[in-house]
Amino acid sequence: MSISNVLSTAVSALATSSTRVATSAQNIANVNTDGYLAKDNAAPGIVAGQAFGAGALQVEAIEPSNVNMAKEFMDLIVAKAAYEANAKVLRAGEEMLKDAIDIKA
């Protein structure tokens, strides 16, 4: 695996982490919006579990949002850790490239 592949993967992971943070922020911002359905924060390639079940129909009722604040904050913590780890990979890759250039020079 070349350094460019590693850096490309790290940049892609940073973009994914950024998307996860934006999704969590949107969910948190709409926690008090009646009828708001929380957006799923699963990364591509990860299959998120879905709950299936029967519900009751209540006429003229406003459904509250289904945002789980604990889950959203956990998603933010995970995204932050992933972002920091990938930023470290980028810094290490940059140092390796600098060292390679210094050796050739």
- Specify the number of domains making up the chain: 1
CA dist., res. 15 & res. 46, Å (int): 16
CA atoms within 13 A on the CB side of 28: 14
Residue at 47 is within a domain: no
Question: Could you tell me the two tokens for 24?
Answer: 């969590």
Residue at 53 is within a domain: no
- Classify residue 51 as exposed, middle or buried by CB count within 10 Å of its CB (0-12, 13-18, 19+): exposed
Residue at 97 is within a domain: yes
Residue at 89 is within a domain: yes
Residue where the block lists tokens 């780890």:
85
pLDDT at 49: 40
Domain that holds residue 92: 3-40+63-104
Residue at 52 is within a domain: no
Is residue 60 over pLDDT 70?
A: no
Residue at 24 is within a domain: yes
pTM for the model stands at 0.59
pLDDT at 88: 92
Residue at 55 is within a domain: no
Mean pLDDT along residues 54-69: 60
Least reliable range by pLDDT among 5-9, 76-80, 89-93: 5-9
